Amino acid sequence: MVEATHSYLAKEELDAVVKHTIDQIISEVNKDVVMVMGLNALREMCIRNTTLLDKAQLNYCVEHISFKEKNVSQSARSLLNLFRQIDYKMLDKKY
């Protein structure tokens, strides 16, 4: 899915995939490895299409910076750093 994402793809076409990734994969009930894969996949998709996430979805993903597992927090931090470069206004003031 990441490789199929590009800048000409409309946000509405990937909304279902993004929503499923956030709701089912980036969830604290999953193992940390699964969460890392989900966060990294979202980051790679956002590199290719910057309008993929809305403000609420982005801030939910970035909240995992304070997660107890180091790998999950590093993946969330990499997503945060990406959006600091791309569009810092989408982030909450505390980031």
Residue pLDDT, tens place only, 26-64? 998 999 999 999 999 999 999 999 889 999 999 999 999
- Is 3 within the bounds of a domain? no
- Is 95 within the bounds of a domain? no
- Is 1 within the bounds of a domain? no
Does pTM top 0.85 for this prediction? yes
Query: Which parts of 21-69 fold into alpha helices (H)?
Result: 32-48, 55-62
Q: Give the range of the structural domain holding residue 16, as residue numbers without chain letter.
A: 11-90
- Is 43 within the bounds of a domain? yes
Number of compact structural domains in the chain: 1
Q: How close are the terminal C-alpha atoms of the chain, in Å?
A: 28
- Is 15 within the bounds of a domain? yes
User: pLDDT per residue over 61-91, tens digit each?
Assistant: 999 999 999 999 999 999 999 999 998 999 9
**Residue 18, C-beta contacts closer than 8 angstroms, at least 6 positions apart:** 42, 45, 52, 53, 57
